[in-house]
């Protein structure tokens, strides 16, 4: 009986996504892109989607502030360190998530400490926790200070729709150039056992972008957009 109910729920979910996809193709007015809907259809039909959910489920979300301690990450045009920006942004996401009864945020680091990449501590933390999602926060760098924009990386196919959603949400909130969602074999994405993305929120080596990223207003908007992306992916809106 339970198997039959789950089968019906699966089919209804598939039909709903197909209908939403058709509407989006027809009027082009939906907030989700055709690419996102296509990726979500693939996730659902391949069994990788987190939907449908059991009512009342508490979702464990690992937020990973990139770098830390002796690993300063990128140095910004004005001298800021990436490790400080990522930690501050992660704490903002954590604080905002306290208003969401079905989301529990866990940070890979809560202070300025070094986390070894050799020991793969970040993905191990998420895997041991049994997390539902893993989101690594970074600030980008390039030798040309004119390069700017937001990009989101994923590795496993079951992370692609999450990357699309987070990318769209952060770009809308920050107003930064949309550099798209891309596949990349970072170990924090390869070694995690749940949907995982790495968001490069902006280029700290771009003077204008760094200045914006260090303001309370932009940080709060980006943090809220990451949380909104999580809720959208989990169908908690």
**pLDDT value at 180 more than 90:** yes
What is the chain's length?
237
Q: Are 21 and 92 in contact (CB under 8 A)?
A: no
> Does any domain span residue 53?
no
Using pLDDT thresholds of 50, 70 and 90, give the confidence band for residue 2.
Answer: very low
In whole angstroms, what is the distance from residue 221 CA to residue 96 CA? 11
Q: Are 197 and 189 in contact (CB under 8 A)?
A: yes
Across the chain, mean pLDDT equals 86
**pLDDT value at 17 more than 70:** no
> Does any domain span residue 50?
no
Structural domain including 25 reads: 2-45
pTM above 0.75, yes or no: yes
Measuring CA to CA, which residue among 165, 178, 176, 182 is closest to residue 219? 176
Claim to verify: residue 68 and residue 120 sit in the same structural domain: yes
Determine the pLDDT at residue 56: 77
Claim to verify: residue 8 and residue 74 sit in the same structural domain: no
Determine the pLDDT at residue 31: 45
Q: Give the tens place of pLDDT for each residue, 126-151.
A: 999 999 999 999 999 999 999 999 99
In whole angstroms, what is the distance from residue 119 CA to residue 17 CA? 40
Q: What tokens does 200 get?
A: 């490069």
Mean pLDDT of 199-205: 98
Could you tell me the CATH number of the domain that includes residue 139? 3.40.630.40
Determine the pLDDT at residue 168: 98
Task: Tell me the C-alpha to C-alpha distance, in Å, between residue 236 and each of 31, 155, 227.
Answer: 16, 24, 11
Q: Which residue's entry shows tokens 């907030």? A: 31
Domain count of the fold of the chain: 2
Give whichever of 9-18, 54-63, 217-226 has the largest mean pLDDT: 217-226
Determine the pLDDT at residue 51: 46
Claim to verify: residue 11 and residue 79 sit in the same structural domain: no
Q: What angle do CA 110, 115, 119 make, to 5 degrees?
A: 140
Q: Are 134 and 62 in contact (CB under 8 A)?
A: yes
**pLDDT value at 55 more than 90:** no
The one catalytic residue among 151, 200, 210, 232: 200
Burial of 211 (0-12, 13-18, 19+ CB in 10 A): middle
In whole angstroms, what is the distance from residue 104 CA to residue 98 CA? 8
Which H/E stretch holds residue 139? Answer: strand 133-140
| Ranges 41-55, 118-132, 203-217, 223-237: which has the least confidence | 41-55
Determine the pLDDT at residue 130: 98
Whether the CA torsion 224, 218, 159, 31 is positive or negative: it is positive
Claim to verify: residue 133 and residue 72 sit in the same structural domain: yes
Q: For this structure, is 200 an active site residue? A: yes
In the chain the first and final C-alpha atoms are separated, in Å, by 30
Mean pLDDT of 108-120: 96
Claim to verify: residue 119 and residue 225 sit in the same structural domain: yes
**pLDDT value at 20 more than 90:** no
């Amino acid at each position: 009986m339970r198997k039959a109910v789950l089968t019906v729920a699966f089919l209804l979910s598939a039909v709903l996504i197909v209908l939403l996809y058709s509407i989006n193709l027809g009027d082009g007015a939906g907030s989700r892109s055709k690419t996102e809907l296509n990726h979500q259809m693939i996730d659902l039909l391949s069994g990788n989607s987190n939907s449908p959910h059991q009512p009342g489920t508490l979702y464990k979300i690992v937020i990973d502030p990139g770098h830390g301690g002796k690993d300063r990450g990128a140095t910004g045009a004005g001298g800021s360190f990436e490790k400080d920006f990522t930690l501050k942004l992660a704490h903002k996401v954590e604080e905002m998530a306290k208003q969401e009864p079905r989301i529990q945020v866990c940070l890979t680091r809560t202070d300025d400490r070094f986390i070894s990449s050799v020991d793969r501590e970040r993905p191990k933390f998420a895997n041991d926790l049994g997390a539902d999602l893993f989101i690594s926060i970074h600030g980008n760098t390039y030798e040309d200070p004119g390069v700017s924009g937001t990009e989101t990386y994923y590795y496993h196919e079951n992370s692609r729709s999450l990357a699309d959603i987070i990318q769209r949400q952060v770009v809308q909130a920050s107003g930064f150039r949309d550099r798209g969602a891309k596949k990349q074999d970072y170990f924090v994405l390869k070694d995690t056992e749940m949907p995982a993305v790495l968001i490069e929120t902006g280029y700290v080596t771009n003077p204008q972008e760094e200045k914006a990223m260090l303001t309370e207003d932009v940080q709060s908007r980006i943090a809220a957009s990451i949380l909104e992306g999580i809720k959208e992916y989990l169908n908690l809106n």
